[in-house]
Amino acid sequence: SQQGEEDPQALSIQEGENATMNCSYKTSINNLQWYRQNSGRGLVHLILIRSNEREKHSGRLRVTLDTSKKSSSLLITASRAADTASYFCAHTETTGRRALTFGSGTRLQVQP
State the residues that interact with other proteins by CB under 8 A: 3, 30-31, 33, 35, 40-45, 48, 88, 90, 92, 97-105
Yes or no: say if 90 and 101 are a contact pair by the CB < 8 Å rule. yes
Strand order through the sheet with 71-76: 5-7, 19-24, 71-76, 61-66, 55-58
CA–CA dist 64, 77 (Å, integer): 14
Smallest CA-to-CA distance from 34 within 93, 112, 110, 103 is with 103
Count Cβ atoms within 10 A of the Cβ of residue 74 and give its class: 0-12 exposed, 13-18 middle, 19 or more buried.
Answer: buried
